[in-house]
Amino acid sequence: MENGFELEVLKEISEKLLMKKNEIIFLLEGKVDDPRKAANEIAKSLLNQGMIAIAPVGDGTFAVTQKGMRATKV
């Protein structure tokens, strides 16, 4: 993982198991200039790394994968 925000978001998702994109944006508010853009980039990066997957329960909902759970334990 390349930045601390990715790890922070991944840890939050692994604690909740499911997280909506709006919750990620809310988590990043006050920490970055453009939380919506940062949330999109982080989600895309975590999806590409196989740390999270798109959950079929709602629009813009992500679930942590086993790989993502293992990465937060280190």
User: Cα–Cα–Cα angle for 44, 6, 66, nearest 5°?
Assistant: 80
Contact 65, 51 (CB under 8 A): yes
Query: What is the CATH architecture of 4-73?
Result: Orthogonal Bundle (1.10)
Report pLDDT digits (tens) over 6-48: 999 999 999 999 999 999 999 999 999 999 999 999 999 999 9
The pTM for the full model equals: 0.89
Residue boundaries of the structural domains of the chain = 4-73
Which residues, in sequence order, are bridge partners of residue 19?
Answer: 62
Secondary structure class of 3 (helix, strand, coil): coil
Give the long-range contacts of residues 2-6, CB within 8 A, separation 24 or more: 2/45, 5/31, 5/32, 5/38, 5/42, 6/42, 6/45, 6/46
Q: Which pLDDT score, from 0 to 100, does residue 2 have? A: 56
